[in-house]
Amino acid sequence: MKKVLAFDIGGTKIAYAIIDEKGNFTNEVIKVTTPKTSSGIYELLKTVIKGSEDEIDGVAIATAGPVNNENNKIIGRVGNLPEGYDETDFLSLTEKPILLENDANAAAWAEFKIGAAKGTKDAVILTLGTGVGSGIIVNGKLLKGKSGSAGEMHVRFSFGHERQCGCGLWDCLETYVSGTALSTDAKIYLAPDATSYDVIRGLKEGNPKARAAFDHWQECLENTLVMMANIFDPEVIVLSGSMAQFVEYEKLNKQANEDILTQPFILKQAHFENNAGMLGAALLLIERL
Amino acid sequence: MKKVLAFDIGGTKIAYAIIDEKGNFTNEVIKVTTPKTSSGIYELLKTVIKGSEDEIDGVAIATAGPVNNENNKIIGRVGNLPEGYDETDFLSLTEKPILLENDANAAAWAEFKIGAAKGTKDAVILTLGTGVGSGIIVNGKLLKGKSGSAGEMHVRFSFGHERQCGCGLWDCLETYVSGTALSTDAKIYLAPDATSYDVIRGLKEGNPKARAAFDHWQECLENTLVMMANIFDPEVIVLSGSMAQFVEYEKLNKQANEDILTQPFILKQAHFENNAGMLGAALLLIERL
């Protein structure tokens, strides 16, 4: 049975584990704080790889930032990782086969191969966290674009100049559909210091203001589903990330399917949680071994 | 040299011509009024095919409506074609090879193979006419989705409940970016009975109200380009359709590339005009012969 060492490199933590060709984790996932320099990250990866090089068939890395699969390089500066990280020479880490993939794409691949989108050929996986990410499967393959950076969910949703987005523009989808967006709605509908947690709690308690905040957020999510279903005509749209647990799936599935021009899709919650990135990168590499 | 008989079936006209494997039209394009019944359309196609069956290697049809390539069938009702058209048995028209493709997809294929997107692998072709259509090339192939209906450009662009879209929803992209949209802007910025022609004329005459109308329209187009570039990371976005000639390409190319998170793309005007659908369908069929 083939086994690979898989990493998930994020701005806060680096997680790693050994994963076999069936997608099983053969040890517990280890998490360490992300080093403050790009050379620190390189050394950490090198040390971990050395420690298990004898028992693995390759190294799979899910990372923040767009990845060019032709040369296993990261394209351009990655916001929450140290300067110079995009110039890391990942190929020199080991003589074993190595694969690098964007974390949202890798997580989408895990859902596609053995998770909520298993058995489909066309699927959209949206991650609703601090921001909104996506991994898109087109005819059984990851949508990458010319440089590996496809799937950025930045679209202006309003002319109101109401919410500034991290990308520099105003009123992007992300400012209406992410966890951060629900916090914004909390402040508008509940109180100036309210948070997304107050909305979720208020929803359970039947608070009408919390319901209004959540409904606005979920309507924007519906807008996003309609957009992606109209553009991609997927079999399934999968929601992952911290906000996915709060979505009213049945209601949203019905409403979005009424509003699209393409053929019906199925809305699902993701099967995997935090470790989907590592898992997907591992599966991508094992297919090529 | 291989040759095919190619049709373009629209709600108003049916056009046809014989096209060779280099994309040359071997005769003048003939246009006839679309028959009022689906059996009338079938008989027309049958008659035209009979007349040239000896000299062709196959029949290529670009049609309004989504097409399932696995069975050469149209999926669901097509708005501006007669009832029952979607049940037409195209395969029974001839014993020669036959291929059916959605007209926007076929036109995109023509631009991709021998037009403005030639030499790329990832391209978005937007048609700005009465509505807004798209054909999308992902890694050298047409994006079709699970049922052939991918590429519907319906996304809500505003919360304002200002412009109702033909799809039934409010404030879709199409109501801000099409030719119809510029007519709406004409009425808002110029006069209640003004049209898109008044905007274009006013623009040439230096009328500031016409400039304001056009700028709003073009800003919405920029929003569309940013969306498509962020989602698909294409090498090129091509604009076709009746409105494509009015776009300020250099200005729009610069602005949109400043606003995207993916890598730079190039904005281009389509190479082909009205006959791109026929041509693309012909090229798609000839590749398979």
For residue A251, the distance in angstroms to the closest alpha carbon of chain B comes to 18
- The pLDDT assigned to A167 comes to 84
For residue B71, pLDDT beyond 90: no
Residues of B in contact with A76 (CB under 8 A): 263
- CA-based nearest residue to A73, from B119, B263, B136: B263
- The pLDDT assigned to A106 comes to 96
For residue B74, pLDDT beyond 80: yes
- The pLDDT assigned to A178 comes to 94
Long-range contacts (CB closer than 8 Å, 24 or more residues apart) made by A10-15: A10/A34, A10/A64, A10/A80, A10/A103, A11/A64, A11/A79, A11/A80, A11/A81, A12/A80, A14/A41, A14/A44, A14/A45, A15/A274, A15/A275, A15/A278
| Cα separation, A120 vs A139, whole angstroms | 9
Q: Does A215 touch chain B (CB under 8 A)?
A: no
Residues of B in contact with A147 (CB under 8 A): 233, 262-263
For residue A274, pLDDT beyond 90: no
Q: Order of strands across the sheet with B13-20?
A: B30-33, B13-20, B3-9, B59-63, B98-102
Which of the four pLDDT bands, split at 50, 70 and 90, describes residue B76? Answer: confident
For residue B77, pLDDT beyond 80: no
Residues of B in contact with A168 (CB under 8 A): 259
- The pLDDT assigned to A57 comes to 97
Q: Does B118 touch chain A (CB under 8 A)?
A: no
- The pLDDT assigned to A47 comes to 97
Which of the four pLDDT bands, split at 50, 70 and 90, describes residue B33? Answer: very high
pTM summary value? 0.94
For residue B29, pLDDT beyond 90: yes
Residues of B in contact with A261 (CB under 8 A): 149, 152, 154, 167
- The pLDDT assigned to B216 comes to 97
pLDDT digit string, tens, across residues B128-151: 988 899 999 999 999 999 999 999
- The pLDDT assigned to B72 comes to 87
pLDDT digit string, tens, across residues B140-191: 999 999 999 999 999 999 998 999 998 889 999 999 999 999 999 999 999 9
B166 to chain A: closest CA residue: A261
B235 to chain A: closest CA residue: A146
Q: What is the mean pLDDT of residues A185-209?
A: 97
pLDDT digit string, tens, across residues A141-160: 999 999 999 999 999 999 98
pLDDT digit string, tens, across residues B247-259: 999 999 999 999 9
- 3-state per-residue secondary structure call for chain B: CCEEEEEEECCCEEEEEEEECCCCECCCCEEEECCCCHHHHHHHHHHHHHHHHHHCCCEEEEECCCEECCCCEECCCCCCCCCCHHHCCHHHHCCCCEEEEEHHHHHHHHHHHHCCCCCCCCEEEEEECCCEEEEEEECCEECCCCCCCCCCCCCECCCCCCCECCCCCECECHHHHCHHHHHHHHHHHCCCCCCHHHHHHHHHCCCHHHHHHHHHHHHHHHHHHHHHHHHHCCCEEEEECCCHHHCCHHHHHHHHHHHCCCCCCEEEECCCCCCHHHHHHHHHHHHHC
For an interface test with B, the pick among A217, A231, A255 (most B C-beta atoms closer than 10 Å) comes out as A231
For residue A141, the distance in angstroms to the closest alpha carbon of chain B comes to 10
Percent of chain B with pLDDT over 90: 88
In which residue are the tokens 């509908």 written?
A: A189
| Cα separation, A259 vs B270, whole angstroms | 31
B167 to chain A: closest CA residue: A261
- The pLDDT assigned to A168 comes to 86
3-state SS class at A96: coil
Question: Encoding tokens for residue B32?
Answer: 């006839």
Helix, strand, coil percentages in chain A from 3-state DSSP, rounded to 5: 40, 20, 40
| Cα separation, B7 vs B277, whole angstroms | 8
Q: What is the mean pLDDT of chain B?
A: 95
Q: What is the mean pLDDT of residues A136-145?
A: 97
Q: Do A152 and B261 touch (CB under 8 A)?
A: yes
- The pLDDT assigned to A90 comes to 96
* Displacement of CA B206 from its chain's centroid (Å): 31
Q: Do A144 and B139 touch (CB under 8 A)?
A: yes
Q: Do B230 and A261 touch (CB under 8 A)?
A: no
pLDDT digit string, tens, across residues A206-258: 999 999 999 999 999 999 999 999 999 999 999 999 999 999 999 999 999 99
ipTM: 0.94
Kindly report the backbone phi and psi dihedral angles of residue B221, in degrees, each rounded to the nearest multiple of 5, phi listed first.
Answer: -65, -40
For residue A208, the distance in angstroms to the closest alpha carbon of chain B comes to 21
A135 to chain B: closest CA residue: B231
A262 to chain B: closest CA residue: B149
Q: Do A155 and B223 touch (CB under 8 A)?
A: yes
Chain B 157-196, residues with CB within 8 Å of chain A CB atoms:
157-160, 167-169
- The pLDDT assigned to B80 comes to 80
B136 to chain A: closest CA residue: A231
Q: Regarding beta strands A59-63 and A30-33, do their DSSP bridges make them parallel or antiparallel, or are they unpaired?
A: unpaired
Q: Do A156 and B232 touch (CB under 8 A)?
A: no
- The pLDDT assigned to A55 comes to 94
| Cα separation, B93 vs B39, whole angstroms | 12
Q: What is the mean pLDDT of residues A259-268?
A: 95
| Cα separation, B35 vs A175, whole angstroms | 49
